[in-house]
Amino acid sequence: GIELNGKIAIVTGASSGIGRAIAFKLAERGANLILGDVKIDELRKVAEEIIKETKVKVVPLYVNVGDFNSTKEFYNKGVSELGVDYVDILVNNAGINRDALFVKMTYEQWDEVIRVDLYSMFNMTKQVVEGMIRRNYGRIINMSSLSWLGNIGQANYSAAKAGVIGFTKTLARELAKYNITVNAICPGFIDTPMTRAVPEKVRQKIIERIPMGRIGQPEDVANLVAFLASDEASYITGEVIGVTGGLVL
């Protein structure tokens, strides 16, 4: 069914925006959570709110998803605090943008985005895959973006998010025999701190181009994550699914 009672899920970037909504949604469905973020104070607040509203266990921990050793410590600490040695669900959600036209883009802007948005996929997935194979069960959900198609000012971000898709499709093929599904989500324009940084004029212009006539909400993305994490999605793998309100680039 669509319930996730007793499942163990990791959500990265869970202190804000889409990750926070995913954490709430998975908790409402009954999953116990290991939440990771670089912003640990905000993350602890999110965990407290979820514990207040649901009955699941929530472990909030610092992680820098761009750093392999940090993801290793995060995973080991998270599972041991829940008294298990596996997770059922991994949501690779943490991500950043450092927009600039290519001629002005610095090496640091390139490096930081590739590290956090693409290396993170390798780093976090490496931690969970052994446990998933051992138990012949897994759901891996990777946050890409509609921007993977190419978007002015986002050479770094588009490259990373396109990389997420290639990674997703290859892992889907390699891990299918272990009953592990791997899918990518491409949000369009979603109302989070990331897009609130966009100047109001530009924001309105983008919203005008969305056929559904509104900006997306973090819950719109979280609903798809909950479905892909459920048993009802057990035959869906290697897919790239948009949550865009019909927006095309």
Give the residue numbers marked as catalytic. Answer: 157
Q: How far is the CB of 188 from ligand NAD (least distance, A)?
A: 6
Site for ligand NAD in 1-40 (CB under 6 A): 12-13, 15-19, 36-39
Residue among 60, 163, 187, 245 that touches ligand NAD (CB under 6 A): 187
102: Cβ contacts below 8 Å, ≥ 6 apart = 155
| Cβ-based nearer residue to ligand NAD, 12 or 183 | 12
State which residue, 133 or 210, has the beta carbon closest to ligand NAD. Answer: 210
Report in angstroms how near the CB of residue 135 gets to ligand NAD at its nearest: 26
Give whichever of 12 and 109 is closer to ligand NAD, judged by the CB atom. Answer: 12
Residue 58's alpha-carbon distances to 7, 14, 24, 32, in angstroms, are 12, 12, 10, 6
Amino acid at the residue 228: L
163 touches ligand NAD by CB under 6 A: no
CB 60 within 8 A of CB 47: yes
Contact 35, 60 (CB under 8 A): yes
Contact call for residues 106 and 90 (beta carbons, < 8 A): no
The single residue among 8, 23, 56, 96 that binds ligand NAD, judged by CB under 6 A, is: 96
- Could you say whether residue 66 binds ligand NAD (CB under 6 A)? yes
Does the footprint of ligand NAD cover residue 194 (CB under 6 A)? yes
E strands present in the chain: 8-12, 32-37, 58-62, 89-92, 138-143, 180-187, 240-243
For residues 131 and 86, the answer to whether their CB atoms sit within 8 Å is yes
Select the span of 91-99, 103-111, 148-156, 173-181 touching ligand NAD (CB under 6 A).
Answer: 91-99
Hey, how many other C-beta atoms are within 10 angstroms of the C-beta on 239?
Answer: 15
Site for ligand NAD, residues 128 to 147, rule: CB under 6 A:
143, 145
**Any idea what the Cα angle at residue 214 is, between residues 211 and 215, rounded to 5°?**
110
* Residue 158 interacts with ligand NAD (CB under 6 A): yes or no: no
- Which residues contribute to the site for ligand NAD (CB under 6 A)? 12-13, 15-19, 36-39, 63-66, 93-96, 116, 143, 145, 187, 189-190, 192-195
